[in-house]
Structure 1
Amino acid sequence: MQDTMARRVALLGGTFDPVHAGHVALGAHFMALLQADELWVMPALPWQKAALAASPQQRAEMVELAFAGQPYPVVVDKRELQRGQPTYTVDTLRELRAELGPQTSIAFLMGADQLQRLDTWHDWQDLFGLAHLCAAARPGFELGALPPAVAQEFARRAATPEQIRNTPSGLTCLAPDLALDVSATGIRAALQRGNKPGSLSLLIPPVVLDYIEQHNLYKK
């Protein structure tokens, strides 16, 4: 099959509280795998999570720092923050699909932890009509670890990177070889315990660590 899509966009959403090396690696992994034209990174105001430690502006600024200088185009899209209220992913994808057009390949990227909760997302089955769903999992992760309805959808829609590149939406890809085990929750806990930011330099981009220190974030 020849590459026929006019545009390929990979979309990485999250709270990014804080953004860390796992997020950057996830974006880079799928940019290479899918040969996407652009990575859109979208900080969220999620309806499922409690109050966040960093402000919306701080989270957006950390994302901009973390993804600066990548060897591919990166767009930091702040639309969910600008709405000023929690929003559903399905609504954002509907908006993006209307903007980018029916032929653009949109791949929504997520980690295995998000995938395991996918059936709790609002109108989650409608996501497939708007984008591809691509998840990165740790080695050894299997679809059997997912809620049955999610596992069934992921299995029946499984596709190759080439198929995802050349269709607008509706397919899935599980990349089980992203071994980074980084948790924003764990990073916040370490900083609250008083761990020096330098001890987390392998988990968070140095420019983001500097930002956290300058703004005295994630302290008790």
Structure 2
Amino acid sequence: MTSLNLDTPKKIGILGGTFDPPHLGHLKLATHFAKTLHLDALLLVPSGEPWQKGTGITPAETRFQLTEAAGIDLARAFLYLKIPTQIGIDRIEIERAGPSYAIDTAKALKERFGAQANLIWLMGADSLIKLPTWNSWKQLLEYVNFAVASRPQHDISVEMSAEIAQLLAKHQCIDANTLEKSLHGLIYLDNSLSVDLSSTELRNQLKSPSRSSVATEQIPSHALEIIANLGLYS
């Protein structure tokens, strides 16, 4: 499940992140968009050097291991829900030297899957709001579409900068099916899913006395087993 070999160009969702740790919010977002957008494949892409996250990040190989484990739970959910989307855990950012920039990943995946592949970058509203801080962010939509899930603590209409307002005015589409008609350049905002889990907050909660209850409620079971075995976040 760590790589995908697709015979023909497909509709491929990309969910990147530090996954430190992966949590049920990631899985809910992945499941929702796999179903809503009828994705042929979904790539979970752990960052190699998450340049915006500062220090204290769990080593990349451990985060990759956790993401693979979470992928097992995600695959079981897809099977139960009869979602045919293939799942891949991709090492593209871990194996690339230097800071992990989304633009480099988008270019590399476009080259890998071909010009006719429909790459859809999945994210929460908080990431869209912060998009102008990303490296070469204005170029991203030349390679991918965006599918954005609402977050309870982030009201896009209130928090977005003038740059994001202009971006939405130019690129937003109302209907998810529209993403099938364009290989790049569209932004779909989905308000039907509201995920309010944060890896940063989760790490802090795991250091508290309520660690065990927090973990079982918010972390996929296979990832949780690795966290317990390695003594992470304690």
- TM-score normalised according to structure 1 size: 0.91
2: distance between equivalents of 1:145 and 1:174?
15
Alignment of 1:200-211 (within 5 A): 200-211=215-226
Which of 91, 95, 117 in structure 1 is aligned with 2:108?
Answer: 95
- The answer (yes or no) to whether the contact 1:80–1:87 under 8 Å persists in 2 is yes
Which of 33, 37, 42 in structure 2 is aligned with 1:39?
Answer: 42
Report the Cα offset of residue 61 of structure 1.
0.9
Report the Cα offset of residue 217 of structure 1.
0.5
Residue identity opposite 2:52 in structure 1: Q
Which of 23, 26, 30 in structure 2 is aligned with 1:27?
Answer: 30
Task: Name the structure 2 match of 1:195.
Answer: 210
Task: Name the structure 2 match of 1:51.
Answer: 55
Report the Cα offset of residue 98 of structure 1.
1.3
Task: Name the structure 1 match of 2:142.
Answer: 129
Moved beyond 4 Å, runs of 4+: none
**3-state SS in 2 of match to 1:11:** strand
Task: Name the structure 1 match of 2:82.
Answer: none
Report the Cα offset of residue 62 of structure 1.
0.9
1: distance between equivalents of 2:139 and 2:68?
30
1: distance between equivalents of 2:169 and 2:93?
30
Does the alignment pair 1:155 with 2:169? yes
2: distance between equivalents of 1:58 and 1:6?
31
Which of 191, 208, 213 in structure 1 is aligned with 2:228?
Answer: 213
Does the alignment pair 1:179 with 2:194? yes
Q: Deviations along 1:103-144, whole A, 9 cap, x unmatched?
A: 111100111111111011111110010100111013683434
1: distance between equivalents of 2:214 and 2:135?
38
- The answer (yes or no) to whether the contact 1:90–1:124 under 8 Å persists in 2 is yes
* Segment of structure 1 superposing worse, 150-159 or 163-172: 150-159
Residue identity opposite 1:208 in structure 2: A
Report the Cα offset of residue 6 of structure 1.
4.5
- The answer (yes or no) to whether the contact 2:9–2:114 under 8 Å persists in 1 is no
- The answer (yes or no) to whether the contact 1:197–1:209 under 8 Å persists in 2 is no
Report the Cα offset of residue 16 of structure 1.
0.5
> How many corresponding residue pairs?
215
Task: Name the structure 1 match of 2:3.
Answer: none
Give the RMSD, CA atoms, in angstroms. 1.8
2: distance between equivalents of 1:191 and 1:199?
7
1: distance between equivalents of 2:57 and 2:207?
11
Residue identity opposite 2:11 in structure 1: R
Residue identity opposite 2:213 in structure 1: G
**3-state SS in 2 of match to 1:170:** coil
- TM-score normalised according to structure 2 size: 0.86
Residue identity over aligned pairs, in percent, reads 31
- Gaps in structure 1 of 5+ consecutive residues: none
- The answer (yes or no) to whether the contact 2:132–2:163 under 8 Å persists in 1 is yes
Relative to structure 1, the CA distance from residue 84 to residue 218 in structure 2 (aligned partners, 3 Å threshold; closer, same or farther) is: farther
2: distance between equivalents of 1:135 and 1:82?
27
2: distance between equivalents of 1:181 and 1:199?
14
Q: Deviations along 1:11-46, whole A, 9 cap, x unmatched?
A: 000000110001111111111111010001100022
